[in-house]
Structure 1
């Protein structure tokens, strides 16, 4: 089924807010689920070796080549975590984790995994979890086929994603919402067909109430900006967006009115952090394999050889952490959010330490890494620095809790 024409209302049954019920999307039994994950891993490995491996030039592309997106859809990898009734693969978040790791382990281009994973999570955690039946039918089949791209628009210039500082707002005008404001750091923004825009729709007792509205990319009043230059994570495209009195039907409201930050934004961040560890585990595998291929064994002394051996198995631990985090989200996303956040923080710290140690090996003796290897290392290093200040604040809070206990 094709998506609703851009700029038109989506009419459906009475809207109601519903929790993210992962259990309803699980395969029938654990054996079947494990087999399905193994299948997705194999298919993604084959795809990455065929379409991505060895193409270092992809890191110089500012946007995903349309041919590559089409290949992902044709390979049946655009909707891994969507139900089969919408044309998806019927997988869960663990399936996404193993596929994401395979994509980076075999392809070695982290930006492709970032762009691909963003599409998967918006489709599953937002439209599938919170959409009306009409919204699901309008968008999910096209998302599963890889025919359209969504973009979640939360962050704003100078505010990040902090709810106290966001200002984009939407006022009700008859049967429509009229949106004004500015968004930033939009992953997949330049190629998106629809935007899920977080906007203030009410202020109660001095507290902002947020909602998500589905906005077609060509709605009148949409102005795209270059935004902050991101010279890594390519070819994942990014941009900014200004909304000048953009009018959309009230039927484009995704989920309930006024509770979107708690119900949509926070769970999305938790899942992103968890699956980020899977993409980094794969990236580390690829980086280490490439480093070993370029190193002359004689360039390392005994300690260097031992260090390379220790690092060779380190991605296995990172992979296990990512899989466990995804498993906890599959079991009970809300109830396990705190534990998942702790696992994700540990995985990020571990990955940063691993990357520093790999960097030290790359400077040993007279070894000179190839341009491709150096670029791959730099991409991982800069990726691990994303949202550094937010992670520092969270670490300080954990330290305060520990000291007070």
Structure 2
């Protein structure tokens, strides 16, 4: 199954590359749709591609070919959000309506959890969904909505009730054209292009009861919280692709010597370990093996060290191309996303080592 999946993904990546390689950022997602890349990871595309591992493989391949982290992460966000939230929690009618459109590249899904000045902390979120006859009235604001400027539908987390001083959350599927929903531009982060973000404002946005995704009483621990881990895990594939691209493209700027050859060989070995650890981590999302938080921490830290070591080998006189410099800036920026949640996991892991000895 894995071999057939990898071969099919490689074929589609080659199809995409044949039409995009000379101008990758012109209509990037339209060209991906032509190569059927948006079918990857979406139920209905065939068992071989119906996995998180398939999404990660495509993401890694895109970054390895282009070095453009923002392109790969924007591509992957569309698929991961659709697979996790819609395929994972939506009812049959919702899945039948939206998943084929996502797979065809006709519909872009964006998830709205974070809010201005609050981040994604559940005790600070203030967007509310007031029950009304036959539906909900939504008021509030969201920020840093990935792919928001090009999204067709938004999955919005909102407070539906407060019980015993604790907020209860629901997730709502809201089309972009819904009255009362205002999409606001945010400053463009050039390093992450063509990835983009926006703010959302809900001013009496009324949605039907059928807009709610899932029937659980509390969507935050059931959806928003685990999605952070899914997103972070699949994101290691982007890191792997970037390491391969950086190593290949930096080598031409590194002076040839026995010492540098030895260091490059060592780095190549470490990159191979990062790739293997990433594959194991993503496979666990598909039920193959056990999830291990230490693995993700190790991948992120080792990748950071590898990037630093490659940069240390580059000449200090600035004799490297602008593309490498730009993507290094993108790597640094992406590494700050979800940094606090990673720190929490790292502390928890460290504390567990003390607990085991007591």
Shared fold (TM-score greater than 0.5)?
A: yes
Please state how far the C-alpha of 1:301 moved relative to its aligned partner.
Answer: 4.2
In structure 2, the residue corresponding to 1:368 is in which secondary structure? coil
CA contact under 8 A between 2:236 and 2:296: conserved in structure 1? yes
Q: Which position in structure 2 is the counterpart of 1:382?
A: 333
1:351 aligned to 2:303?
yes
Alignment of 1:112-191 (within 5 A): 112-191=71-150
For the residues of structure 2 that align with 1:50 and 1:279, how far apart are their CA atoms? 22
Q: Which runs of 5+ in 2 are unaligned?
A: none
Is the contact between residue 16 and residue 34 of structure 2 (CA under 8 Å) also seen in structure 1? no
Query: Which residue of 2 is the match for residue 24 of structure 1?
Result: none
Residues 110 and 145 of structure 2 are in contact (CA less than 8 Å); yes or no, is this contact kept in structure 1? yes
TM-score, normalised via structure 2 length: 0.92
Tell whether the 8 Å contact from 1:37 to 1:91 is kept in structure 2 after alignment: no
Q: CA deviation at 1:142?
A: 0.7
The residue number in structure 2 matching 1:290 is: 249
Is the Cα contact below 8 Å between 1:149 and 1:192 reproduced in 2?
yes
| SS at structure 2 position matched to 1:232 | helix
5 Å-filtered alignment, 1:329-344, equals 329-331=285-287, 336-337=290-291, 339=292, 341-344=293-296
CA gap 1:163/1:370 in 2 versus in 1, 3 angstroms = same
Question: Take 1:178 and 1:362, find their aligned partners in 2: how far apart are those partners?
Answer: 56
What is the alpha-carbon distance in structure 2 between the residues aligned to residue 378 and residue 50 of structure 1? Answer: 27
Kindly tell me the number of residue pairs found equivalent between the two proteins. 356
Query: Could you tell me how far apart the structure 1 residues matched to 2:301 and 2:34 are?
Result: 36
User: Hey, what does 1:307 align to over in structure 2?
Assistant: 263
Q: Deviations over 1:48-90 (max 9, x none)?
A: 46414x658x4xxxxxx5x321211111110211222x78974
Please give the per-residue CA displacement for 1:267-321, whole angstroms capped at 9, x wherever unaligned. 22111111111111001111111111344xxx24433222222222332221111
Pair 367,237 (structure 1): closer, same or farther in 2 beyond 3 Å: closer
Distance 1:275 1:313, change over 3 A: same
For the residue of structure 2 that corresponds to 1:395, the secondary structure is helix
Report the 3-state secondary structure (helix = DSSP H, G, I; strand = E; otherwise coil) of the residue aligned with 2:136. strand
1:265 correspondence with 2:218: no
Residue 161 of structure 1, CA deviation? 1.3
How far did residue 368 of structure 1 move? Answer: 0.9
Asked whether the equivalents of residues 253 and 315 of structure 2 are also in contact (C-alpha less than 8 Å), the reply is no
Equivalent residue number for residue 214 of structure 2: 255
Aligned-partner Cα distance in 2 for 1:97–1:153: 22
Matched, 1:224 2:183: yes
Higher relative contact order (CA 8 A, sep 6+): 1
Secondary structure of 2:123's counterpart equals coil
Of 5, 10, 13, the match for 1:44: 13
1:384 alignment partner, SS class: helix
**Aligned equivalents of 1:328 and 1:315: distance in 2?**
20
**Among 27, 42, 53, which residue is 1:94 paired with?**
53
Superposed, 1:58-77 pairs within 5 Å as 58=25, 65=26, 67-77=27-37
Q: 1:80, 1:88 within 8 Å by CA — same for their partners in 2? A: no
Once residues 229 and 70 of structure 1 are traced to their aligned partners in structure 2, the CA distance between those partners, rounded to angstroms, is 21
Which residue of structure 2 lines up, in the alignment, with residue 205 of structure 1? 164
